[in-house]
Amino acid sequence: MFINGALYAAAIPIVFDLIQDLGVDFGEDAVPVPGYGPEQGVGTKYQVAAFAGGCFWCMEAPFDKLGDGVIATLSGYTGGATENPTYREVSAGTTGHAETVQVVYDPTLVSYEQLLDAYWHSIDPTTLDRQFVDSGTQYRTAIYYYNEEQKRLAETSRDDLAAANTFRAPIVTEITEASTFYPAEKYHQDYYKKKAMKYSFYRSLSEHQLGLNYL
């Protein structure tokens, strides 16, 4: 009886996590986090960039690793028409949104080119509407630019990669003007820190497949 009780107690948080991973959030975990705007220095001291690279759980860490110049990374949704989408809605593939990470950065400490380099090294840009173990338009790769300079730099970096024949197939990553970014629910923010073991396993599947399309 004691063993059964202990197993039951141990299983509860695991089941709870699985339910949340499917988009059924509870309490404050279900509430979108606040975004960054002029009040936080965006547009004056800081700039923003946005990158879609499959599941956003895997896209915060590559930018956070760039150091103090990255002020924040926010998982969220953009590129579609549905206002204030939820994770479940986006996961259904009917909103037009892509899972995206918005990067708030200090351009005096980290350049947009460095963000682009981190991005290209974290995705497979040759697969359409798919990244590794995830498929659907919500997992497409895209660079969302906020000004003409970002657009120019993004297009140049893409063209340079294509010219270098880095990949076995053509690059299909979109480069599109940024639209409204909707921060995701609290549960999905900093997932790689809060759920380190699950993230490491999930990431290992992606990293294995990442090398398959490199020459």
Any catalytic annotation for residue 55? yes
CA 147, CA 30: separation in Å to the nearest integer? 32
Q: What single string gives the DSSP state of each residue in 140-197?
A: -EEEEESSHHHHHHHHHHHHHHHHTT-BSS----EEEE----EEPBGGGTTHHHHTHH
Question: Which is nearest to 52 in space by CA: 158, 138, 160, 154?
Answer: 138
With CA atoms as reference, report the closest residue to 199 among 186, 208, 190: 190
The catalytically annotated residue of 55, 58, 66, 104 is 55
Q: Do residues 77 and 97 lie in contact, with contact meaning Cβ atoms separated by under 8 Å?
A: yes
* Residue numbers annotated as active site: 55
